[in-house]
């Protein structure tokens, strides 16, 4: 399919940090929480009939979705507006409330990401005569596979990044290899859309 390069700033408030290319192609991946078939009030992300801007990319409009036998959404179908590319003349003619992040399925970097949380589930480990080991948080470390912008494949050990809506991450100093970094979450971010709202 057709491909095009979009440009994203390396830091939104620091233009002197430069830009990076972000490939746009026919098949994109978005966060599961960025789509609702039947949206709640105040939800401005993607749903059938709604338009959103792909961050630093194009405006898209959802035309429908596919589901599996259990009713889980497996694909979201959209049309894009070629004259809506961020940073081009006329792109501001599209007024949308939602802005979502995305990655080209074809170009995404498949990567190990470690999500660290509080080491202890109890704010006072070992209190009440318990062994502090009993208070260790079983979810203190989760290892997931993430699909990231291809530019992140070039990250150097100990280089730091903000992953949209997920937190600040650092390329692991021991396990990252040239062209194959592994990322550790250092700090979480609060999502503006609270689940269950």
CATH number for 24: 2.40.240.10
User: Are residues 9 and 92 both part of a single domain?
Assistant: yes
- pLDDT at residue 191, as a whole number: 52
Instruction: Map tokens 């609060």 to a residue.
Output: 190
- pLDDT at residue 1, as a whole number: 55
What are the residues whose beta carbons fall under 8 Å from the beta carbon of 149, sequence distance 6 or more? 8, 20, 22, 103, 108, 109
User: Are residues 134 and 161 both part of a single domain?
Assistant: yes
User: How many Å apart are CA 58 and CA 82, to the nearest integer?
Assistant: 7
- pLDDT at residue 153, as a whole number: 94
User: Could you tell me which of 169, 147, 148, 149 has the C-alpha nearest to residue 160?
Assistant: 169
User: Are residues 100 and 20 both part of a single domain?
Assistant: yes
- pLDDT at residue 50, as a whole number: 96
Structure tokens given for 55: 């961050």
Domain count, the chain: 2
Q: Tell me if 195 is assigned to some domain.
A: no
User: Global pTM?
Assistant: 0.81
Q: Tell me if 157 is assigned to some domain.
A: yes
Identify the domain boundary among 104, 138, 154. Answer: 104
User: Are residues 24 and 44 both part of a single domain?
Assistant: yes
**pLDDT truncated to tens, each residue of the chain (197 aa)?**
578 999 999 988 899 999 999 999 999 999 999 999 999 999 999 999 999 999 999 999 999 999 999 999 999 999 999 999 999 998 999 999 999 999 999 999 999 999 998 889 888 888 888 899 989 999 899 999 999 999 999 999 999 999 988 899 999 999 999 999 999 999 888 655 445 44
Angle, alpha carbons 186-189-96 (nearest 5°): 140
Range of the domain at 37: 4-104
Phi, psi for residue 28 in degrees, rounded to 5: -120, 155
Beta strands in 31-108 (DSSP E): 51-54, 59-67, 73-80, 98-100, 102-104
User: Are residues 81 and 114 both part of a single domain?
Assistant: no
Q: Tell me if 32 is assigned to some domain.
A: yes
User: Are residues 99 and 113 both part of a single domain?
Assistant: no
């Amino acid at each position: 399919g057709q491909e095009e390069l979009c440009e994203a700033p390396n830091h939104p408030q620091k233009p002197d940090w430069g830009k990076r290319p972000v490939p746009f192609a026919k098949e994109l991946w978005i966060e599961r929480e960025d789509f609702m078939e039947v949206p709640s009030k105040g939800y401005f992300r993607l749903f059938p009939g709604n338009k959103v801007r792909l961050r630093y990319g194009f405006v898209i409009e959802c035309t429908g979705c596919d589901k599996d036998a259990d009713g889980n959404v497996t694909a979201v179908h959209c049309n894009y507006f070629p004259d809506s590319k961020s940073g081009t003349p006329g792109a501001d003619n599209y007024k949308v409330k939602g802005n979502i992040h995305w990655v080209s399925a074809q170009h995404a970097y498949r990567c190990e990401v470690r999500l660290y949380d509080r080491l202890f589930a109890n704010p006072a480990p070992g209190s009440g005569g318990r062994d502090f080991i009993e208070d260790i948080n079983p979810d203190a470390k989760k290892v997931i596979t993430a699909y990231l912008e291809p530019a992140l494949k070039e990250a150097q050990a100990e280089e730091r990044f903000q992953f949209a809506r997920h937190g600040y991450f650092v390329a692991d100093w021991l396990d990252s290899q040239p062209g194959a970094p592994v990322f550790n979450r250092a700090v979480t971010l609060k999502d503006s859309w609270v689940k269950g709202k």
